[in-house]
Chains A and B, each alone.
Chain A
């Protein structure tokens, strides 16, 4: 049975160009750090990939550090900037309550283990970080401000330019987790005013296992990974040549098609929202209402009185893949911290499902979801009486 995949925000199929690029590179032998011809040929692929990727996100190649993915890029940005900041007496780290756990947990860890003073900016009911709260919180003691570009659960775009400017006014470093944005909407690092930005290949049609941290050249970051001194001595480790090639190929495809694809996805999302509401009129949409305020493909709905886990299981059995709030490794769902930050009750947060569209999504996917929802929701409601 072909799966109806509506979880592109979790990951999205690799585009053929990326598969081809990787396959080509997998047979090359050479460590990109070696001095001989085999090494140089591998190094060349890495550098060409770096240049291509950087150009498409408004960065210079010298600003791009390859990592193992978005989580590592977030960790490096946050921990690296904090540790460098303590050297000049700055100990405060500010982030929003909307962030992915790669940011939230890194910041929390600095608070509990490294004596960072941590401040969390609240969000409004549409999932937008509160700028005035940020202005109040940031001060001359602030080492780092980190706020995501677009939220992965409800899709809300954050006022990144303003955040970067506010941070800069106080001499604080700014970072944005743009994992959900790059490849889907225009992201211009130079124009943003940010000091650092994270993204990853597998969210845009590239392979798992590789991502990037854009960081201004003059920034001093303490490394997390020590070793051979690769990537400006900030991120040691042998570079994954094939993955870098796949990353570059995927982003090239995404960038070339982006304007048209963004339009297509936004229309398909509108179709999805209308179809879901037609199928389940009492479903509640979470997130901003205006197109300009959100990422193209993410739609979040609450189904009051139901457990989202139960709906997910029933949709799964009907061949449909979607998602609830962040699940932990044991497989037990917790209510989305993003929805809670937006003012939802725990019960409402536990009733919410995220449907997300991507390059392989079609109207047939939307129709299948609308077809399966009524029965799934009805059963889930009946099951809600029992725990």
Chain B
């Protein structure tokens, strides 16, 4: 066991981990952050996405121990002081049905807007292409991001 310290959603958190423990499991089971989900468990579906030092990554493909002394933001952090503009638009437009892909979609969108506040549809599609949704067929999700980012 090794003690690691991460800045999680703005707070310093310490936890003991084995080298083979996966970041996604540690976030959910040891740190109580439940927004990242386990979908495919091999980096294809995006449900486990979190922001690591500002960039979206697959938390199912990262060892928790790799993130010692780094910064992680999940949807809990993004909506700490109320829902973001994109989250509100997603609510208005009924963008999700079951909601399983929602955290990954929100993480990818947050990263995109940070770099590119007014993306075009192609750029939105490219940014979200690694997130699989099995309910709504993507359209209301893309429309929400377009709506929330238009000039």
Binding between chains A and B: no
